[in-house]
Amino acid sequence: MACNGLKVAVATYNLYWWCVSNKFGNCPQFAFGTGFTQLYQRISSNPVDLIGFQECENVEQVVAGAGPALSNFGYYSTPSGNDAPMAWSWARFKVLEGPASEWIAQDSYSPRWLNWVRLLEYSSNTVIFFANTHGPLGQCTGERGQQVADAYWRSIWNHKKHKDVVIFTGDFNCRIWDQTLVSLREKLEDAAWDTVFQGADHIFAEHGVGLCSQESILGAPSDHQFLKAVLLPHGGPEPPKPPEHEKSQNRSVDATAKDGCPKPPSNGPCCHHCKSNRFCPGDGGCYAEGQSGCTSGTCVPNTATQLLL
């Protein structure tokens, strides 16, 4: 595609803080600040306009340490226990609303949050709803994975405004074929994902946003990659509304409602019993996008599927 017009460079980066900081004394290779020096060099050599961090205990320190690359950046210093702050270029953006946080889930380590801010891009008057997360562990599959995805989307929907362009970064702590990410790909374009942790790190964007480039860059000293995408935002059509049962935070989500399948054009027509993306008649299995074993691009129509059961 021709990448003319407003371009926004977006990154997501898990900082591996406990090790890079030598917090517990078990990463001596990063002692005496050498880990942070390498971390700042990694960030400064990959300039961006928006960046979501994970495993970041002090975003102010990171912004200051990265030097010119983030010298004119605003940032959200999240509350204690919320390790997914974000930063944005003051030269490009004005804050319209936020930043703020919304609870998503609880795992054995801590509460997990979606953090967000609404930003006005000066030159185009485009409003970007920028969100970031560090997802819960062990809650990616089946009904629980669907509930986490619903919580993310409900939070975005509740806080974005009409014609805001959604950009959502994060380390979701899920594999690319798990239900949480399968469901999010129904709502948003998956612009970039890592190649180290089975697709845990992602940059999602509103449907219709142009993708100019994507890079999975070596992230050392972090154990994660520095994931970057250059996007062409727009004031595009309103994204799909959440179903009625997803709107209230005080009601449990019925993960088995209807057929549980992605709707076209995500992966074509879907069989009603298959809660993953695709059904393969050859071995009668349900497969998610990215999994091996399924070569078909679409699900078998429901009538044909029933004959195979």
Question: Does pTM surpass 0.75?
Answer: yes
Strand partners, 53: 13
Question: Are residues 307 and 299 in contact, defined by beta-carbon separation less than 8 angstroms?
Answer: no
Render the burial of 98-136: b for 16+ CB within 10 Å, e for the rest.
bbebbebbeeeeeebbbbbbbbebeeeebbbbbbbbbbb
Question: Are residues 126 and 94 in contact, defined by beta-carbon separation less than 8 angstroms?
Answer: no
> What is the C-alpha separation between 182 and 259, in angstroms, rounded?
14
Give φ, ψ of 44 to 5 degrees.
-70, -25
- The tens place of each residue's pLDDT in the chain, 309 residues long, gives 568 778 999 999 999 999 999 999 999 999 999 999 999 999 999 999 999 999 999 999 999 999 999 999 999 999 999 999 999 999 999 999 999 999 999 998 899 999 999 999 999 999 999 999 999 999 999 999 999 999 999 999 999 999 999 999 999 999 999 999 999 999 999 999 999 999 999 999 999 899 999 999 999 999 999 999 999 997 444 555 565 544 433 322 222 223 444 443 333 333 444 444 454 544 445 555 445 454 444 444 333 333 332
Cite the residue boundaries of each domain of the chain with CATH code 3.60.10.10: 8-232
> What is the C-alpha separation between 301 and 54, in angstroms, rounded?
41
Strand partners, 130: 117, 167
Question: Are residues 149 and 168 in contact, defined by beta-carbon separation less than 8 angstroms?
Answer: no
Helix or strand run (H / E) with residue 89: strand 86-89
One-letter amino acid identity for 154? R
Question: Are residues 299 and 266 in contact, defined by beta-carbon separation less than 8 angstroms?
Answer: no
- CATH-assigned architecture of domain 8-232: 4-Layer Sandwich (3.60)
- Residues 102-129 have pLDDT tens digits of 999 999 889 999 999 999 999 999 999 9
